[in-house]
Amino acid sequence: MSGALSHIRVLDLSRILAGPWAGQMLADFGAEVIKIERPGKGDDTRQWGPPFMQGSDAKTSEAAYFHAANRGKQSVAVDMACPEGQAIIRELVKVSDVLLENYKVGGLKQYGLDYDSLKALNPRLIYCSITGFGQDGPDAQRAGYDFMIQGMGGLMSVTGEPDGMPMKAGVALVDVMTGLYAANAVQAALLHREETGMGQYIDLALLDVQVATLANQAMNFLASGVSPERLGNAHPNIVPYQAFPTADGHIILAVGNDQQFTRFCEAAGRPELAADPAFSSNQKRVENRNDLIPFLLPLMKHNTTEVWLAKLGDVGVPCGPINTIAQVFDEPQIKHREMQISLEHRDAGNVPSVANPVKFSKTPITYRQAPPVLGEHSEQVLKSVLDMTEKDIEKLCNQGVIQRG
């Protein structure tokens, strides 16, 4: 069965994480994604190890980081700095639907690969540019990296313990979210093209994405004029909604409404807390957070995490463990949902990967192959897509314009 985007061809000129994450999402949805890489080293993240990916037959030459965002793609190694390489990319643009890139503002213009140059070749092209700060504004020329954007965009100001340092998320969350926004935007632009026949330009900035995804924290500020502060694992709008120490570890208690709080108090043997006017509604619990939490901290230490999970689960109070990554992949629910998969790598046999979480009923996710070896598909794509001859390809290889895998 074909994927939902099996009729779409994507040129992925992006590197590192945000752009490749978008390209991987489109590949999972069935699109043909051609990853354009520089000969020699390719995407920077191929070398971002250890660890390097271990397959069933051998260890690959690519870092695990590269494998996080490049499955299902074809690697074509082309030197875009030379006219012959630029000509190849322009020919691919003519027969493509989407181009993803994350070069600095104006960086591709010198190669004639900017949107204005390419839309003349293909007016139906969807061209998505990802930068740190966007294509205009006082910071447009600045380089932007996930860590600094988490800080500048406010996420770190609400992450961490109240008396500790501001903290970044443990994953490059801005890059991942930008990749998801990019994939959404591309698909919206493709739908618009279905109606109008015309492509368009997408300007996506990491900083904009970080501000947009402040979500309730941004609205808390806009509603009150007060900047939210760090609350550790607590929630600014719901109480009790945080991690608590237990007799042997920690547990997350996520009480989302007053009925759940009543059931929690009964299960904990303190039903009077739910009847107390100071704690009887979520609004009151938020206002009196500093009075309620000291009651709950010693209470939660009376039982082990396993006992609390059972007791609270029996009465429908949302709660959960704080798993290590190893424990995540050992969770029965994760196994049932098949969130770990195995993909075929050309050199290393079967390698593990994390599944796409989307479950389509009619157009299931397409897992064609593991992330490619650098230049693995150069010859195949140039022959099948551009009708190049073996003689032409050999000449380009000898000139260093392309690299075979």
DSSP string covering 41-75? T-SGGGG--SSEEE-SS-EEEEEHHHHTS-TTEEE
How far is Cα 349 from Cα 351, in angstroms, rounded to an integer?
6
Strand partners, 253: 242, 319
- How far is residue 58 from each of residues 345, 347, 349, 351, 386, measured CA to CA in Å? 10, 7, 7, 9, 33
- Within 10 Å of residue 359's Cβ, how many Cβ atoms? 10
* Options 28, 43, 146, 175, the catalytic residue: 175
Closest CA to 74 of 322, 338, 378: 378
Q: Is 286 helix (H, G, I), strand (E, B) or coil?
A: helix
Which amino acid is it at 402? Answer: I
DSSP string covering 154-191? TTGGGSS-TTS-----SS-HHHHHHHHHHHHHHHHHHH
User: What is the bridge-based pairing of β-strands 402-403 and 32-37?
Assistant: unpaired
- Burial of 80 (C-beta count, 10 Å sphere; 0-12/13-18/19+): buried
Strand partners, 351: 343
How far is Cα 345 from Cα 320, in angstroms, rounded to an integer?
36
Does residue 175 have an active-site annotation?
Answer: yes
Catalytic residues: 175
